[in-house]
């Protein structure tokens, strides 16, 4: 029999989608799957649906916990998982039937610790493939640099990873829920892997959900972003990577402040430093955004209307 693989599904108020995601995990062509559903303090029927599904299929485990945020839900799922390899799948997304088989085969074929497919992004009735800007095998350090590439879109259900790479220090401080926790954890995780594979084979459907955390920006206060970037800087400093990634990190800060924070308080010291950082010759996009951040209302108006224009032109 093939090795057991655990699919971990964190679920907070995911009642409308949970059956779909679980069905996609159980319906894999790979024949040895367990599914770990983590009900993260849901206030809808998520917990009851998870228990119902577990009663119907012995391959499903359910963890119920108080609401602790996405990172802690993933952490709990990993602790409950039994397999050597894990796949993280958000409760509103869906795996293609051959996803796990493809990722596992690539992992064994190329001795990978972490392997990614591409994804199909679904927005309403429209969908399109989101591919990696490159394919091949990277070292952990090379993948760290790739994570700061603004063309990079790494979603959870598109990858398979060794379970033992997920040590406790990968997760944000307990009790602190931060924006872009998956980005943070991927940066931390890159220090624990040696070989990472990127392949432009769709392995999941990523559904845009207007009420999700990433869409509503409910965690995007300046305090949360300051803590987020503080943890990244601390990690990069410890790894001797802060200087080589300083320009990329500045671009990430500019991007997050321009697109995720409103209203923006430019009197905050770290925000002021981002706006006036002149160490690098930035690309036109980031130079313009950095300048616009000096005028928060104008910046927000430009961002909002740029999004509207893109929708009209589709």
The string of pLDDT tens digits covering residues 49-84 is: 999 999 999 999 999 999 998 999 999 999 999 999
Is the CB of residue 192 less than 8 Å from the CB of residue 167? yes
Question: Given its phi and psi angles, is residue 172 left (phi above 0), alpha (psi -120 to 50 degrees) or beta?
Answer: beta
pLDDT of residue 152: 65
Query: Between 308 and 233, whose confidence is greater?
Result: 233
Q: Is position 234 within any domain? A: no
pLDDT of residue 216: 45
Which residues, including other chains, have CB under 8 Å from residue 45's CB and lie 6 or more apart? 15
Instruction: Please state, as a whole number, how many other Cβ atoms lie within 10 Å of the Cβ of residue 277.
Output: 15
What is the percentage of the chain residues whose pLDDT exceeds 90? Answer: 78
Same domain, 47 and 183: yes
Same domain, 127 and 251: no
What distances in angstroms separate CA 195 from CA 109, 110, 204, 270, 313, one per listed residue?
12, 8, 22, 35, 40
Q: Quick: pLDDT tens for 195-227.
A: 999 999 999 999 987 655 444 455 678 999 999
| Single residue among 214, 231, 260 that ends a domain in this structure | 214
Same domain, 133 and 193: yes
- Mean pLDDT confidence for 16-21: 97
SS3 track for 45-92: CHHHHHHHHHHHCCCEEEEEECCCCHHHHHHHHHHHCCCCEEEECCCC
Whole-number average pLDDT of the chain: 91
pLDDT of residue 158: 80
3-class SS of residue 251: helix
Look at the chain and report how many structural domains it folds into: 2
3-class SS of residue 309: helix
Question: Given its phi and psi angles, is residue 76 left (phi above 0), alpha (psi -120 to 50 degrees) or beta?
Answer: alpha
Helix (H) or strand (E) holding 130: strand 126-130
Q: Determine phi and psi for 114, rounding to 5 degrees.
A: -155, 130
Lowest mean pLDDT among 9-18, 104-113, 212-221: 212-221
Tell me the pairing of strands 85-88 and 159-162.
antiparallel
What one-character DSSP code corresponds to residue 169? Answer: G
- Mean pLDDT confidence for 30-55: 97
Same domain, 12 and 120: yes
User: 169: domain CATH number?
Assistant: 3.90.550.10
The model's pTM is 0.90
pLDDT of residue 214: 47
Q: Quick: pLDDT tens for 119-150.
A: 999 988 889 998 998 899 999 999 999 988 76
Same domain, 21 and 150: yes
Q: How far apart are CA 57 and CA 60, in angstroms?
A: 6
pLDDT of residue 215: 43
Whether pLDDT at 173 is above 50: yes
Q: Is position 177 within any domain? A: yes
Same domain, 73 and 180: yes
- Mean pLDDT confidence for 96-118: 97
| Single residue among 193, 214, 235 that ends a domain in this structure | 214
What is the percentage of the chain residues whose pLDDT exceeds 70? Answer: 93
The range of the structural domain enclosing residue 174 comes to: 5-214
Whether pLDDT at 151 is above 80: no
Is the CB of residue 272 less than 8 Å from the CB of residue 281? no
């Amino acid at each position: 029999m093939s090795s057991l693989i655990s699919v971990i599904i964190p679920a907070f108020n995911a009642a409308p989608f949970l059956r779909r995601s679980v069905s996609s995990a159980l319906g894999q062509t790979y024949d040895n799957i367990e599914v770990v559903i983590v009900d993260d303090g849901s206030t809808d029927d998520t917990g009851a649906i998870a228990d119902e599904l577990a009663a119907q299929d012995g391959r499903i485990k359910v963890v119920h916990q108080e609401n602790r945020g996405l990172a802690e839900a993933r952490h709990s799922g990993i602790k409950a998982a039994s397999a050597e390899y894990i796949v993280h799948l958000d409760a509103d997304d869906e795996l293609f039937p051959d996803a796990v088989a493809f990722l596992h085969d690539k992992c064994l074929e190329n001795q990978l610790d972490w392997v990614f497919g591409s994804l199909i992004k679904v927005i309403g009735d429209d969908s399109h493939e989101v591919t990696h800007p490159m394919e091949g095998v990277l070292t952990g350090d090379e993948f760290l640099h790739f994570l700061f590439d603004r063309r990079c879109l790494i979603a959870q259900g598109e990858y398979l990873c060794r379970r033992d790479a997920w040590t406790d220090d990968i997760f944000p401080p307990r009790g602190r829920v931060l924006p872009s926790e998956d980005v943070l954890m991927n940066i931390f995780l890159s220090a624990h892997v040696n070989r990472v594979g990127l392949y432009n084979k769709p392995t999941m459907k990523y559904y845009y959900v207007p009420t999700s955390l990433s869409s509503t920006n409910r965690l995007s206060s300046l305090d949360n972003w300051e803590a987020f970037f503080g943890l990244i800087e601390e990690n990069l400093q410890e790894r001797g990577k802060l200087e080589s990634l300083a320009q990329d990190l500045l671009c990430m800060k500019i991007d997050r402040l321009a697109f995720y924070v409103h209203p923006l308080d430019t009197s905050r010291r770290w925000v002021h430093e981002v706006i006036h950082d002149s160490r690098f010759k930035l690309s036109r996009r980031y130079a313009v955004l950095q300048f616009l951040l000096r005028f928060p209302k104008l910046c927000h108006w430009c961002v909002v209307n740029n999004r509207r224009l893109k929708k009209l032109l589709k």
